[in-house]
Amino acid sequence: MPFIPHTPEEIEQMLATIGADDIETLFDEIPANIRCQSLDGIPPAASEMEIAREVQAMADRDAGALNFIGAGAYEHHIPAAVWQLTTRGEFYTAYTPYQAEASQGTLQLIYEYQTMMTGLTGMDVSNASLYDGASALGEAILMAVRVHRKSKSRKILVPASLHPNYRKAAETIVKHQGIELVELPIDPQTGRIDPTALEQYSGEDITALAIPQPNFYGVLEEADELTAWAEQNNTLVIGVVNPFALGLLKPPGEWGENGADVVCGDGQPLGAPLSSGGPYYGILCCKQAHVRQMPGRIVGRAVDADGKKGFVLTLQAREQHIRRSKATSNICTNQGLVVTASTIHMALLGPVGLRNAAALSMANTRKLVEKAAAIGIAPRFSGEYFHEVALQLGQPAAGVLERMAANNVLGGYDLGQVNPSMADSILVCATETKTDADIDRFIDTLQAAL
Amino acid sequence: MPFIPHTPEEIEQMLATIGADDIETLFDEIPANIRCQSLDGIPPAASEMEIAREVQAMADRDAGALNFIGAGAYEHHIPAAVWQLTTRGEFYTAYTPYQAEASQGTLQLIYEYQTMMTGLTGMDVSNASLYDGASALGEAILMAVRVHRKSKSRKILVPASLHPNYRKAAETIVKHQGIELVELPIDPQTGRIDPTALEQYSGEDITALAIPQPNFYGVLEEADELTAWAEQNNTLVIGVVNPFALGLLKPPGEWGENGADVVCGDGQPLGAPLSSGGPYYGILCCKQAHVRQMPGRIVGRAVDADGKKGFVLTLQAREQHIRRSKATSNICTNQGLVVTASTIHMALLGPVGLRNAAALSMANTRKLVEKAAAIGIAPRFSGEYFHEVALQLGQPAAGVLERMAANNVLGGYDLGQVNPSMADSILVCATETKTDADIDRFIDTLQAAL
Amino acid sequence: MLIFEHATPGRRATAQAPATMADIDLPKRFARKSPTGLPEVSEMQAVRHYTRLSQKNFSIDTHFYPLGSCTMKYNPRACNSLAMLPGMLNRHPHAPLSHSQGFLQMMYELQEMLKEVTGMAGVSLTPMAGAQGEFAGIAMIRAYHDSRGDAERSEILVPDAAHGTNPATAIMCGYKVREIPTDEQGDVDLDALKAAVGPQTAGLMLTNPSTLGVFERNIMEIARIVHEAGGLLYYDGANLNAILGKVRPGDMGFDVIHMNLHKTFSTPHGGGGPGSGAVGVAERLMPYRPIPVVARDGDTYRWLTEDDLPDSMGRLSAFAGNAGVLIRAYIYMRMLGKAGMPRIAEFATLNANYLEKRLVEAGFDAAFPQRRASHEFIITLQKEAKELKVTAMDFAKRLLDFGFHAPTTYFPLLVPECLLIEPTESETKEEIDGFVAAMVAILEEARNEPDTVRSAPHTMPNRRFDEVSAARKPDLRWRPGE
Amino acid sequence: MLIFEHATPGRRATAQAPATMADIDLPKRFARKSPTGLPEVSEMQAVRHYTRLSQKNFSIDTHFYPLGSCTMKYNPRACNSLAMLPGMLNRHPHAPLSHSQGFLQMMYELQEMLKEVTGMAGVSLTPMAGAQGEFAGIAMIRAYHDSRGDAERSEILVPDAAHGTNPATAIMCGYKVREIPTDEQGDVDLDALKAAVGPQTAGLMLTNPSTLGVFERNIMEIARIVHEAGGLLYYDGANLNAILGKVRPGDMGFDVIHMNLHKTFSTPHGGGGPGSGAVGVAERLMPYRPIPVVARDGDTYRWLTEDDLPDSMGRLSAFAGNAGVLIRAYIYMRMLGKAGMPRIAEFATLNANYLEKRLVEAGFDAAFPQRRASHEFIITLQKEAKELKVTAMDFAKRLLDFGFHAPTTYFPLLVPECLLIEPTESETKEEIDGFVAAMVAILEEARNEPDTVRSAPHTMPNRRFDEVSAARKPDLRWRPGE
Ligand SMILES: Cc1ncc(COP(=O)(O)O)c(C=O)c1O
Ligand SMILES: Cc1ncc(COP(=O)(O)O)c(C=O)c1O
């Protein structure tokens, strides 16, 4: 019996103690007419050896390509130590640290995570994670609406330069609460938020403005100007950031005069493998004043009965298990293990490691753009970019990408999926993992596929 | 500076404390004329990311074949838990448990290992490991010579059915001590030790007889008869066993009347991956009476100052660090980590797991032999085999194996390497890891290569 | 010591990063000037620090962890090693179908297996935890009513025993919450339910077995009442472990369900997550499933997106949910196999009933002594709290000293001084007996030296914390120079 | 509790083995009848048991571990994960060359790098630990003399400070051992050496820096003396970490060396091994290298075996040594790179000299105060033992309570009450300062409450053991029914 330790003798003894004839008796409160029959749709048990071989074959089937896709999930070097430590049983098989005294490992680690994340973002407070970047944007919007009580419009400006799936997920999450997401178009020239479009909302009651940095197209938004606009218009700022980029970029806590109010993003680039899209984790940070509207777990330092410092889950009165229908969110289980990995990852990178890796990613993408220019391919937008760039191919991107994939190069993300007007463009990212030879291979494969 | 934590300020402080101007000064006792110049043969440092990619490419280069080679190293299923636990830092980065109080994890584990190994072999005592099976045979022979003080010949009968590299390694190890290894031929019909050849030594002063079980050709030796012969002739018996096979086979402790005196073998089949030949570990077990002639570490249960039980390295007066030139061996570092894995492996298999896996291996090889018969290929020997068998191809094996390898099937071990008279034969092994489809693929590939 | 306190300016884990900063031309207005505050430590320091930190945790791999409602069972190590094969880890979520068939096949088969064990018509794997699955489910209920022009339905009914995520979810979906009381036997109060339903009823959320550790016997009647009122029935699958292969939510009349794959299907949720809250739906809710979903066309697999499911309740994440968790659940289910499914429920239930019986025999009060335990059960320490002034919290903390993680305390809220105890099927009789012995010993202490219990724990890295002060003056991050 | 004590007849880790026993026809005379005695536990029990056991160990990943002569430095985690890639683990040692080029290239490059750092003409990777490398080396010396018909050489000279493996090895190779005394400065007594050499001298085994923690300054003179007597010079490379990239054994006149890759090149030797004792040889010993060795022919790599090296001293293992260890050493060396090699020696030496100086300032006696420390050094507690009746062993045990693994104690044998302390280059100044603080605190205790020190440790899973009784009545395995 896989994963069940009982021997026939023990079963007898236990049933005797209970006073039941057989195990089936224990289910006698379930109406007989709805009891289910054998689950013929489930295959027979595979031993570990058997399933290992099957899964290895499935993994092999998808493996082997050189990847230049980013679009919200980025390939980075993850130190070997990160997941070797993270998968230690004590981290891997613990749960939410409800019993603080028996969970100081996880609790201290989260406190360290919160410290690192506030440092990176320049914000006052971080929670212990949400599900992912997209759903974190949804929570950030809900939080902004709760925080900004003076604003009655519940209108949120969400630029078209934001990741399309972030916009969709946020819409899904907030739409039942009378919140309106208003799309802010991009300047087709620069690839960033169109400042004249934003100007139209000046003086209007806008609850919050979301600012992606870098934006979906890899372009750097004029975060200071946008934040200044928001500050003038009594609009909260929600920063949507790639934390990896913050090794080089001005942190949202320093945008404009007073910084962003709420910051969200996806923690994936800091220690989570691509892994088909998850588990990653959602970052959520805010100003001190907003902490009691923050969703999700938060760890605080506390003092014990001996006066010794330690760590506990705190401010739980925001959460569903205490406040139920009045909670700041329904979130319960979060992405703790990925946060564990990410914290170790950040400790191993350190400030210099993060900065240098970010700079190398940026430089690699520039190299790729230069080499693409040599074969007549140019960026679609003029705005400065970080480590990702839209290239205009002059022909349907879908076919080009398919031909590249046939040569085991995943050449980028087809922007036609987002907007038919961009069906001739791809989004390409060359992180620090790419060598000059990789970039040359990209160019050669692209050229052959054009 | 990879793996060096010092900052410039700390270096200054430390040098100031020492009273040295620079680090170079600390080397001023080394004669200047022999100081070495820069090591131009060493490439520049690779980051973890860079070396990871290189090594992955090297690994990929050798991967992907379906393996039917055994010949002393066997592919078995290793539960995922085994190496995940073994590579926990506390096991992985500890060393010999010199400080017993701070090493109870390793010490208890070795005590459990000793218990398991004595159980498997039916012997009284096990040490904590030697390097591998081949060198363990060398140590077993030296031990037998020390134990059997009455025998003056220092002649050891070593059958030709023993792994050729075991014989060579043993020869290397024992030859300086006036010990003679006498080859005992095999019966070319059965593939086992030729009983008439053995008979010739009856009455002679033979210090020990080595009995492989199963032997190099996969054939089961008549261990009881051989042991009985040794007992009659006042010859010690050294069993050389595959511990995996002991899930089914009569343990050497029960051979003949009184069992083997010393047992060695390679622990690889119990939890060590093939890994290009190592690290594996050498098993060494013996009768109680011989324990003080045993080489290698031994753990014993002890009582502490509070009367609490625990574990220590014991009988250290046998070892080089105490006895120096009078030690039972020069061995110091052993194969501790592999023993750790193997102990966990045996605990996960349990008696039934080991027995069933052994039986399935045996059945799979039988299946292979039956299907080979259908394409006209028969075993070379008539003796009963365990999970490995010599097949006679009727043409040079080397070419056949090469053609099979070109189809990514490693078809077996070319027996021509051992003995030119067997250049038309291969040694094949189908462990429990092989499915019916694998065996069919073997047969198809073999047929195509014939 | 915090990792920051191990740091020294200028120190680095050199092997982990490019040696020098590449030449880049980042305009000043975008550039960071302030420090990131990341710690400057060597690789060994980081390894040593986090290895030692980990040792301060209780976990399944080290301790019995009978946290009720959380199904802390053995997490097979194979699920980890296989989900972390390079081919699994390196697949980009936007990889083309040509480089996705292995993964998609696995996800498709997982969907099919989940349909089979739940009796639902369709499954979407995308929700990233139970609570998100609830959100998806309630949003589907809303989409369903809306599609029929049935826009007046404004209430979600929730039993008072429900988990906090249920009412919180209903609110997020724009509903009002109406609580339904529980009767003395632990079942939903049918009269109250009948009185509560009406044209305003969008649906009822129910956990079965409930968080009281008993099976809701009137489930078919409840389904009838809600359905007749035009409402839909939502199944909170947190306790699916109890009934796996025994009775299926679809056969109980539920229209939409979530599963906590991290509980029932044993994916680790280290330190608080990640989970997976895959949802299942009855036929009439098929159009509203959250996207993406995996479909099979002949021999190939592909994603269903907005184009295929235009009425979907939407997207919940940037990609397709917690894929790595789903892979682990898939592997676990395959290792259980058909025969293994009902055995999970059987032995989880056997362990719970045995443990309850032994505790009752030892003098503890079961909250529902007249009922069968499901995979978990409740002990109420009301008597002990009153007579000995030793609370459920005191017992919980003292258990830590005995080497057992505490059960869930003070949930569900309606049972005073409660411990919700879920041993799971993977624990041995010895371990359970050891837990009983510890409870008995603590009860003895509570009688003879109550302060020992009240001031527990005594053997942990910390004693009991002052949580009130911590919440009043939150210290949520370390500051340089501390 | 032992794993056997967790066992129950009939229990199994079911996922780990074929469900039923295959049909086989094993003749009775070969078949096992007695039980194997393996424990019957569930998978979770095994995981929990060994996880908890592991936590009882000190290790580099958890503690400062200044075990002199053992070079307990940081073991990079990347070496582990890369050496355990499926492609590495699954390669059969007899795989054909077509399926071995990746591995062989790595081994070839490792040989080349080792030649470069040692200044030797050739390297064989096959010995599986330092002691086996010694054996290979001395056997090569014998093969060399034999090949020249110089069969009278019957003695190996070994300084009294030598590691126990040195004399034990010489004996295994059929030599007599003659000890050479050490002078007061820690160098080999040259007069004694001159007196000892002669036509009977096969060679001298030397560790440099020696196990006294000092560099043998007269090495060139020693080489001259031995060589002129017709002997060869053997280098015990256990302390190579001290001089990496600073001075090479080949340039010091050594004819044959072993390296402890598990020390200098940081492969973990968990719980006692595995190691690797790769050997290097000067030109004249090339024919005698142990086999196999990797050779390069143009673009391809292959094994050199008996056919290529007919005069080889022989084979030492069934295959080619501890390949997995060699892979780890290769990766580590590549991560260090050219510039990293001398830095290892520099910072190992800096840490040792700093720690020695701080301890001396704190009142401890260095064994060789007038000398530079190499990568390690000796403190002698003779004074404390005499005056306070607190021994080196007591200090060692008490250090455990302070969270430090003890240094090597009572080795080398010629320094009374000694601690041989090797901090390694990967430790921080803070950690070393912490160790000094602990030593100072223990010294204080030794003065004020000596019994605390004498009865240490107090915080470990066990107190001090009665090792004498344990050896007198050895209990070497658990027996059923205990
Ligand atoms: C009964 C019940 N419902 C819902 C949930 C929420 O699930 P999750 O934590 O995965 O969001 C839980 C989890 O703790 C639960 O116990
Ligand atoms: C000086 C010295 N020589 C030789 C050895 C033997 O090396 P190994 O333990 O690898 O066999 C050691 C190891 O401990 C040593 O310290």
CATH number reported for the structural domain that contains residue B429 in this entry: 3.90.1150.10
D344 and B CB contact within 8 Å: yes
- Contact criterion met (CB < 8 Å) for D60 and B93: yes
| Nearest residue (CA) to ligand 1, atom 6 | C130
Check if D260 has its Cβ closer than 6 Å to any atom of ligand 2.
yes
> Do both A324 and A383 map to the same domain?
no
A176, part of any domain: yes
Q: Report the residue count for chain B.
A: 450
A436, part of any domain: yes
Q: Mean pLDDT in chain B?
A: 97
Select from D163, D263, D316, D420 the residue to mutate for testing ligand 2; criterion: most ligand atoms less than 8 Å from CB: D163
> Do both A311 and A407 map to the same domain?
no
Average pLDDT over residues B315-334: 92
A81 and D CB contact within 8 Å: yes
Which tokens is D277 given? 């004792």
User: Beta partners for D304?
Assistant: D293
pLDDT tens, residue by residue, A347-357: 999 999 999 99
- Check if the beta carbon of residue A90 is closer than 8 Å to that of residue C62: yes
> Do both B318 and B359 map to the same domain?
no
Q: Chain C contacts of A125, Cβ < 8 Å?
A: 476-477
- Contact criterion met (CB < 8 Å) for C43 and B7: no
Residues 284 to 323 of A: which have CB under 8 A from any D CB? none
Q: What are phi and psi of A238, to 5 degrees?
A: -110, 110
Residue A322 has what pLDDT?
Answer: 87
The span from the CA of A239 to the CA of A284, in Å, is 10
The span from the CA of D88 to the CA of B276, in Å, is 7
Q: What is the CATH number of the domain that holds A103?
A: 3.40.640.10
Phi-psi region of D111 (alpha: psi -120 to 50; beta: other; left: phi over 0): alpha
Q: Report the residue count for chain C.
A: 482
Residue D19 has what pLDDT?
Answer: 87
> Do both B406 and B430 map to the same domain?
yes
Residues D361-396 as b/e (b if ≥16 CB within 10 A, e otherwise) read: eeebbbbbeebbbbbbbbbbbbebbeebebbbbbbb
The span from the CA of C230 to the CA of C144, in Å, is 11
D338 and C CB contact within 8 Å: no
pLDDT tens, residue by residue, B275-294: 999 999 999 999 999 999 99
B435, part of any domain: yes
The contacts of residue D5 (CB under 8 Å, 6+ apart) are none
> Do both A318 and A246 map to the same domain?
yes
B80 and C CB contact within 8 Å: yes
- Contact criterion met (CB < 8 Å) for A62 and C117: no
> Do both B337 and B378 map to the same domain?
no
**pLDDT tier for residue B118 given thresholds of 50, 70 and 90:** very high
C16 and D CB contact within 8 Å: no
The span from the CA of B319 to the CA of D472, in Å, is 16
CATH architecture observed for domain C78-336: 3-Layer(aba) Sandwich (3.40)
B14, part of any domain: no
B52, part of any domain: no
Residue C482 has what pLDDT?
Answer: 81
> Do both B337 and B362 map to the same domain?
no
Residue A386 has what pLDDT?
Answer: 97
Give the residue from B83, B85, B88 with the most A CB atoms within 10 Å of its CB, the best one to mutate.
B88
- Of B294, B313, B345, the last residue of a domain is B345
Shortest Cα distance, chain D CAs vs residue B94, angstroms:
4
pLDDT tens, residue by residue, C306-320: 999 999 999 999 999
Boundaries of every domain in chain C: 3-31+39-54, 78-336, 342-468
Q: Chain B contacts of A435, Cβ < 8 Å?
A: 53
Residues of A with CB under 8 A from a CB of B: 47-49, 52, 77, 79-80, 84, 87-88, 432-433, 435
Domain coverage including residue B428: 66-77+351-449
Inform me whether the pLDDT recorded for A256 exceeds 90: yes
Average pLDDT over residues A62-89: 98
Give residue C130 CA to ligand 1 midpoint distance, Å: 5
- Contact criterion met (CB < 8 Å) for B49 and A433: yes
Q: What are phi and psi of D207, to 5 degrees?
A: -105, 135
Inform me whether the pLDDT recorded for B116 exceeds 90: yes
- Contact criterion met (CB < 8 Å) for A49 and B77: yes
Shortest Cα distance, chain D CAs vs residue B71, angstroms:
8
Inform me whether the pLDDT recorded for B16 exceeds 90: yes
Residue D481 has what pLDDT?
Answer: 83
D57 and C CB contact within 8 Å: no
Check if D393 has its Cβ closer than 6 Å to any atom of ligand 2.
no
C215 and A CB contact within 8 Å: yes
Residue C76 has what pLDDT?
Answer: 98
**pLDDT tier for residue C356 given thresholds of 50, 70 and 90:** very high
Tell me the residue ranges of DSSP E strands in B267-384: 282-286, 299-303, 309-313, 378-379
The SS3 assignment for A51 reads helix
> Which strands sit side by side in the sheet containing D365-366, from one edge to the other?
D365-366, D377-380, D418-421, D408-409
Inform me whether the pLDDT recorded for C19 exceeds 90: no
User: Can you list the residues of chain D whose pLDDT is less than 70?
Assistant: none
The span from the CA of A332 to the CA of B352, in Å, is 42
B301, part of any domain: yes
- Of B323, B345, B367, the last residue of a domain is B345
Q: Round to the nearest angstrom and report the end-to-end CA distance of chain C.
A: 12
- Of B345, B376, B405, the last residue of a domain is B345
User: Beta partners for D302?
Assistant: D295
> Do both B113 and B172 map to the same domain?
yes
Residue C481 has what pLDDT?
Answer: 84
Tell me, what DSSP letter sits at residue D415?
Answer: S
| Domains: count for chain B | 2
pLDDT tens, residue by residue, B235-275: 999 999 999 999 999 999 999 999 999 999 999 999 999 99
> Do both A193 and A115 map to the same domain?
yes
A193, part of any domain: yes
Average pLDDT over residues C265-294: 97
> Do both A356 and A440 map to the same domain?
yes
| Nearest residue (CA) to ligand 2, atom 8 | D130
The span from the CA of C216 to the CA of A143, in Å, is 36
Check if D133 has its Cβ closer than 6 Å to any atom of ligand 2.
no
B17, part of any domain: no
Inform me whether the pLDDT recorded for B322 exceeds 90: no
pLDDT tens, residue by residue, A155-214: 999 999 999 999 999 999 999 999 999 999 999 999 999 999 999 999 999 999 999 999
Q: Chain A contacts of B2, Cβ < 8 Å?
A: none
- Contact criterion met (CB < 8 Å) for B5 and C77: no
Q: Round to the nearest angstrom and report the end-to-end CA distance of chain A.
A: 56
Tell me the residue ranges of DSSP E strands in B347-394: 378-379, 388-392
What is the torsion angle, in degrees rounded to the nearest 10, for the CA atoms of residue B106, residue B112, residue B113 and residue B118? 150
pLDDT tens, residue by residue, A270-290: 999 999 999 999 999 999 999
D387 and C CB contact within 8 Å: no
Q: Which residue has the tokens 């004043």?
A: A289
The span from the CA of C202 to the CA of C155, in Å, is 5
Select the residue of A48, A84, A432 nearest B80 (Cβ to Cβ): A48
The SS3 assignment for C217 reads coil
- Check if the beta carbon of residue C446 is closer than 8 Å to that of residue C393: no
| Nearest residue (CA) to ligand 1, atom 8 | C130
CATH code for residues D342-468:
3.90.1150.10
Inform me whether the pLDDT recorded for A245 exceeds 90: yes
Tell me which chain B residue has its CA closest to the CA of residue C12. Answer: B5
> Do both B219 and B368 map to the same domain?
no
pLDDT tens, residue by residue, C67-102: 999 999 999 999 999 999 999 999 999 999 999 999
Select the residue of B6, B56, B89 nearest C47 (Cβ to Cβ): B89
Residue D67 has what pLDDT?
Answer: 97
> Do both B370 and B417 map to the same domain?
yes
Q: Provide the residue type at A108 as one letter.
A: Q
- Check if the beta carbon of residue B292 is closer than 8 Å to that of residue B267: no
Neighbours of B, requiring at least 3 CB pairs below 8 Å, are: A, C, D
Average pLDDT over residues B101-106: 98
Among candidates A45, A60, A61, which has minimal Cα distance to A1?
A45
- Contact criterion met (CB < 8 Å) for B79 and A52: no
